[in-house]
A and B are shown apart, each in its own frame.
Chain A
Amino acid sequence: MNFFAEAIRWIFDPAHYGSYDGVDVRTLQHVLISLAVVAAAAVIAIPLGYLVGHTGRGRGVAVAFSGGIRALPTLGLLILIALGIGIGLEAPFIALVVLAIPSILAGAYSGFEAIDRHTIDAARAVGMTEWQVVGRVEIPLGLPLLIGGLRLAALQVIATATLADYVGGGGLGLYLFRGLKTNDYPQMLAGSIIVIALAIGSEIVFGILQRLVVPAGVVAGQSPQLRVKSSGFRATTG
């Protein structure tokens, strides 16, 4: 655990602040890259997911697409793009957007699908137009699962943005790769710890958000969760 203490000292060493390679600059870079990637992926994936979820069409394609992308190794994609368009931020940005799309897409359409069909029929029965059904029923009720998808995407992007600096894209990967080259374990560990902290921070923020976006009407109507399954008889079976 000596390395661990050294890594913490490394993170708070004033010498590692202020320059382009400084902890402050790199952490900010890492956060901004991740935010931009998730935002770009959301702009593409949310409308598509809503379309699939609302119409029920193209579901098979969306599921197959999400599954297929999961098999695509992001590192390979990132490097291949980097060889094509040159090193820098563009290649990791594109590769990370591709990585983030399936989770958000799945969150968007499954959020719509999880809604009780009776609720949507009722919305139509009281005279809502199709747009009102989407905007005032499906979107609010699907929000918790959508945020769940965004949360997963953010987690994957923060973790994988570490690879961006492999092709000169900036971010916290610098410390991992530089430390590896010079056998500087505290530096590698310092970079790792900051990335892990960012990931946990993102989880906490999205976790809170996920609870906040549950519509008030849903919370009020919720019965306390009961387990349908009895567990009493198990005692007699040993």
Chain B
Amino acid sequence: MTWVLGNLQLIGQLVLAHLATALPAIVLSFLLSIPVGWVANRFHWSRGFVLTVCALLYAIPSLPLFLVLPLFIGTSIRDSINVTISLTIYGLALMARSTADGLESVDADVTQSATAMGFSGWSRFWRVDLPLAGPVLLAGLRVVSVSTISLTTVGAVLGIGSLGSLFTDGFQRNIPEEILTGIVLTIAIAILIDLALVALGRVLMPWTRVKHASASVDRDLSRLAMA
């Protein structure tokens, strides 16, 4: 604990840097997955195509992507924006599948009823299809948020600040306590955000409990590339 107490300021800075890198990636991958998932679900041919592209994007290893990306967007190698964009790509690759599956799971009778009641295509999507797909979206988002928080640490080997910096610094200066602090804080942040997402889900979707949805994501992950 002595190391932790003596370095609270550093730890605070790194927690903020970690969140500043990871949170935009989580939010962006969720927002982008809505139009992408909609396209995947809209036409017969587009589902296989979109999901295959997602599987391919997900196949690119993260550390190499952090290094290759600056070549395309003109940033410096140590810019944290590379990590945010890379993690958005991974998050989107996972999330698009959940969104497409969620939208597909909406009962056709319900959507037809909504149309019969006079919903336009646009408002039906936002007020009927998307809320009903919510539990599946939430399950996907929980996986994305946990893996994004964890993957953000990898940027540290390139000198991009995050909780991972505690690993590299602790390694160079031989302080196991510092590394352990980084691991515990990374897991703690992942758990806190996960709990926040579950709470948000309960508030936004009071009609459902999301108990079973998260388990099926493991199966979805195994199926990820079968599209």
Contact = CB atoms under 8 A, between A and B. Distances in A.
Interface in B169-227: 170-171, 174, 176, 179-180, 182-183, 186-187, 190-191, 214-215, 218-219, 221-226
A230 interface: yes
Given A107-B222, A163-B63, A163-B157, A192 B68 contact: yes
A67 B156 CA distance: 23
B6 interface: no
B20 to A, nearest CB: 17
Interface in B59-103: 59-65, 67-68, 71, 77
Contact of A148 (B77, B154, B167, B222): B222
B182 A159 contact: no
Contacts of B176: 80, 83-84
Nearest to B184: A76
Contacts of B158: 180
Interface in B124-178: 124, 143, 146-147, 149-151, 153-154, 156-159, 163-164, 166-168, 170-171, 174, 176
A83 B150 contact: no
B186 A82 contact: no
Contacts of A229: 104, 108
Interface of A: 1, 3-4, 59, 63, 66-68, 70-77, 79-80, 82-84, 103, 106-107, 110-111, 113-114, 144-146, 148-149, 151-152, 155, 158-160, 162-163, 166-167, 173, 176-177, 180, 185, 188-189, 191-193, 195-196, 199-200, 203, 206-207, 210, 227-231, 233-234, 236-238
Nearest to A3: B71
A159 B63 contact: yes
Contact of B121 (A1, A63, A160, A237): A237
Contact of A73 (B65, B150, B223): B150
Nearest to A194: B64
A200 B59 contact: yes
Contacts of B146: 67, 70-71
Contacts of B7: none
Nearest to A191: B64
Nearest to B174: A83
Contacts of B157: 75, 163, 166, 177
Given A229-B104, A229-B108, A237-B124, A189 B221 contact: no
Contacts of A155: 58-59
B115 interface: yes
A139 B108 CA distance: 35
A148 B225 contact: yes
B171 A70 contact: no
B154 A196 contact: no
Contacts of B59: 155, 199-200, 203
Nearest to B170: A79
Nearest to B159: A180
Nearest to B142: A67
A188 B67 contact: yes
Given A73-B164, A196-B61, 8 more contacts: A76-B186, A79-B168, A80-B176, A144-B226, A145-B223, A189-B67, A228-B108, A231-B44
